[in-house]
Amino acid sequence: MYKQPSHRDPKNFKRPNRAPATNSEPVTIGQRFPLTIKRLGINGEGIGYYKRKITFIPGALPEEVVIAEVTEVHPKFLSAKIHKIRTASPSRVTPVDEFAGVVGGFDLEHLQYAEQLRFKTDVIAQALEKFKPASYTHYDLRPTIGMANPTAYRNKAQFPIRLVDGRLAVGMYKLGSHDLVDLPTVSTQHPTTMKVIRTIRALIEELNIPVYDETTNAGIIKTIIARIAEATGEVQVTLVTNSKKLPNKGPLLAGIMAKLPMVTSISQNINSGKSALIWGSETFLLAGKPFITETINGKQFQLSPRAFLQLNPAQTGRLYQEAITALALTKADKLVDAYSGVGTLGISLAHKAGEVRGMDTIAESIDDANANARLNGVKNAQYFVGAAEDLIPQWVYDGWRPDALIVDPPRTGLDEALRDTILAVKPEKFVYISCNPSTLARDLVDLTDVYTVDYIQSIDMFPQTARVEAIVKFTRR
Catalytically active residues are 435
Longest dimension (CA), the chain: 73
Q: Which residues of 84-94 are buried (b: 16+ CB within 10 A; e: fewer)?
A: ebeeebebbee
How far apart CA 300 and CA 201 sit, in angstroms, is 31
- Measured CA to CA, the distance from residue 232 to residue 270 in angstroms comes to 28
Which stretches does DSSP call E strand in 344-427? 355-360, 381-385, 404-407
Distance separating alpha carbons of residues 298 and 279, to the nearest angstrom: 30
Strands (DSSP E) along 271-409, which ranges?
282-288, 292-296, 299-303, 334-338, 355-360, 381-385, 404-407
Half-sphere exposure of 279 (CA within 13 A, CB side): 12
**Helix or strand run (H / E) with residue 475:** strand 469-476
**Contact criterion met (CB below 8 Å) for 57 and 45:** yes
In whole angstroms, give the CA distance from residue 117 to residue 136: 21
Q: At what angle do helices 388-397 and 416-425 cross, to 10 degrees?
A: 30
Question: What is the residue type of 228?
Answer: I
Give the integer Cα–Cα distance in Å for 313 and 319.
10
Sheet of 77-87: strand order equals 32-36, 65-73, 77-87, 53-57, 46-50, 39-40
β-strands 469-476, 429-434: how paired?
antiparallel
